[in-house]
């Protein structure tokens, strides 16, 4: 993994978000991926202990951000979904590929965490095509293990999930997903175009609607400290929650 160091003031409650972008041919082709970070967008005038969060894929840390012993932010990031397709394997429509995503508290204090997943179709230049259905990109979500979907903030493209239990320092949350499948029906979505007509005879070209497009999946994760969690979550995430009496869990209002 590539490492970068940079100084950072120790004051955000909202930590950061990580995103992974999968770009894969709609039928066959090699995998390309890129991972980037989103900057902090919430801060309070209060010192906090070392907060860290990591994105895991199939048990392996793909991206992380936390403090080192010199109180500097350490960032490590690699390729998401790099091993989704084997070296000599072609991507198969309708096949369920292992894709267990989750987050780990890599800091020194307990946190509550949120993950935002976004699915879309893009062309070769990275332009999103909103006419193509994100429903055909099936990232199978697991919501019987502490994760809950915020239906009020979820759309066809975007799914917002909260882990309702406190995530202790050093521990990982249960998997958010387990498999990734692209619906094979994209191979049947075609339209016909008349390209020429002569002596009453038409030459018709069949165009596959998804030809030349790639599907993308973004995974964005962030965390807040558990101290004054109700107010911190409201400020960082803009939602109202109820915190249990023991402070170990939250529920969406």
* Per-residue model confidence as pLDDT tens digits over 10-57: 222 333 333 333 333 333 222 333 322 222 333 332 334 677 888 899
Mean per-residue pLDDT, 196-212? 70
pLDDT at residue number 53: 87
Q: In the predicted model, what is the mean pLDDT of residues 230-242?
A: 92
Does the pLDDT at position 196 exceed 90? no
Of the two residues 192 and 30, the one the predictor is more confident about is 192
More confident residue, 232 or 13: 232
Q: Binning pLDDT at 50, 70 and 90, where does residue 1 land? A: very low
What's the CA angle centered on 57, arms 164 and 19, to 5 degrees? 75
What distance in Å separates the CA atoms of residue 219 and residue 215, rounded to the nearest whole number? 14
Could you tell me the pLDDT band of residue 72, with boundaries at 50, 70 and 90? Answer: low
How buried is 201 (Cβ within 10 angstroms: 0-12 exposed, 13-18 middle, 19+ buried)?
exposed
pLDDT tens, residue by residue, 90-129 = 888 899 999 999 999 988 889 999 999 988 888 888 888 8
Q: What is the pLDDT of residue 184?
A: 87
pLDDT of residue 206: 65
Please spell the DSSP secondary structure of 131-178, one letter per residue: TS-GGGEEEEE--SSSEEE-GGG--SSEEEEEE-B-B-TT-BPPPSEE
Dihedral sign for Cα atoms in the order 102, 106, 107, 109: positive
| % of the chain at pLDDT higher than 90 | 36
Most confident of 52-56, 203-207, 208-212: 52-56
């Amino acid at each position: 993994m590539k490492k970068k160091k940079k100084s950072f003031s120790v004051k955000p409650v909202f930590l950061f978000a990580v995103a992974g972008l999968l770009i894969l041919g709609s039928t066959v082709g090699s995998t390309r991926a890129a991972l980037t970070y989103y900057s902090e967008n919430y801060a309070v005038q209060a010192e906090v202990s070392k907060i860290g969060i990591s994105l895991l894929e199939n048990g392996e840390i793909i991206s992380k951000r936390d403090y080192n012993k010199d109180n500097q932010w350490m960032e490590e990031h690699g390729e998401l979904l790099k091993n989704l397709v084997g070296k000599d394997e072609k991507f198969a429509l309708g096949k369920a590929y292992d894709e267990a995503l989750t987050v780990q508290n890599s800091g020194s204090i307990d946190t509550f965490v949120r993950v935002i997943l976004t699915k879309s179709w893009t062309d070769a230049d990275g332009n999103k095509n909103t006419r193509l259905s994100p429903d055909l990109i099936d990232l199978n979500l697991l919501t019987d293990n502490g994760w809950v979907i915020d239906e009020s903030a979820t759309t066809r493209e975007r799914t917002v999930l909260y882990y309702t239990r406190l995530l202790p320092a050093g521990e990982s949350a249960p998997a958010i997903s387990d498999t990734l499948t692209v619906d094979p029906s994209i191979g049947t979505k075609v339209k016909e175009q008349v390209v020429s007509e002569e002596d009453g005879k038409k030459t018709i070209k069949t165009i596959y609607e998804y030809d030349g497009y790639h599907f993308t999946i973004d995974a964005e994760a962030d965390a807040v400290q558990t101290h004054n969690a109700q107010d911190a979550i409201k400020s960082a995430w803009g939602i109202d929650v109820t915190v249990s009496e023991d402070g170990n869990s939250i529920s969406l209002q």
